[in-house]
Amino acid sequence: MAISDLSQLVNMIPDGAKLALPPSRSGVAMAATRALAERGARNLHLVAIPTSGIQADLLIGAGCVSIVESAGITLDEHGQAGRFVSAVKAGTIRLMDSTCPAIVSALQAGEKGVPFFPMRGLIGSDLLKYREDYKVINNPMSDTSDPIVVLPAIVPDVTLFHAPLADRFGNVWIGKMRELMTLAHASKQTLVTVEEITDLDLMKDPLRAPATIPEMYVSKVVEAKNGAWPLGLDGCYDPDSVALAHYAAAARTDEGFADYLAGAIQRAAE
């Protein structure tokens, strides 16, 4: 189940894939993201579950992305995501705008293997004007007029995330980041980087097993120390606010981002 390096892992993400990404607080695989940019991936359909930040912004800036489906792309306290904003203004990516509950609900439909998920919260919003794939129907369980929105299931081709620990059997411990369990269940492939790979069977550990994704839902695992940096990883290390501020400043211009990306790839190669 474990493989030797990041290049092998990211080579499992084909161009044009629908790639699901967790929010910045939940185990973002930044080392793998830089490797994916270095590979020169193209035409990715990013699905932020339900938001993203530096991870999506870096892939957009590197020219890897054609579609972004998200409830928001920001750098949080460091301001706007410069490459995302620039791409939206220039029309170089297609933006599929949504809300956090809508994206999570659609992913849950994918997890359950059903074609759609009903919800009410979008009725009356402008999203229904721009999301032709969101349909308003009458509640089939009602005898009166009762409109409800149905959302198409989100079934990612690939989910990519970073976790604290995996075992040599391919089981992945995610701690309290429970949304990663839903992502793994819904996706056709789940690729994971981890801080450490242990010889112990996590599914036999009564304390860790409830927060462990079984190997049947995990395609490949690779060890990558500090693999979420400059973002943090709960229980392991905090976000690097200086590095994130540096990225935010660089990403405001084409030239600044190009220099940042070249430096990041060079450091990874060393």
| pTM score of the predicted model | 0.95
Burial class (CB in 10 A: 0-12, 13-18, 19+), 220: middle
pLDDT at 5: 87
CB 162 within 8 A of CB 29: yes
CB 68 within 8 A of CB 103: no
pLDDT at 57: 98
Query: Tokens in use for 208?
Result: 């860790």
CA dist., res. 55 & res. 243, Å (int): 14
CA dist., res. 46 & res. 159, Å (int): 10
Domains in the chain: boundaries = 6-98+155-269, 116-152
pLDDT at 265: 73
CATH level 2 (architecture), domain 6-98+155-269: 3-Layer(aba) Sandwich (3.40)
CA-based torsion, 266, 267, 268, 269: positive or negative: positive
pLDDT at 4: 62
pLDDT at 229: 97
CA dist., res. 47 & res. 155, Å (int): 10
pLDDT at 42: 98
Mean pLDDT of each 10-residue bin along the chain, 270 residues long: 78 98 96 96 98 98 98 97 98 97 97 96 92 96 95 98 97 95 98 96 97 97 96 96 97 97 76
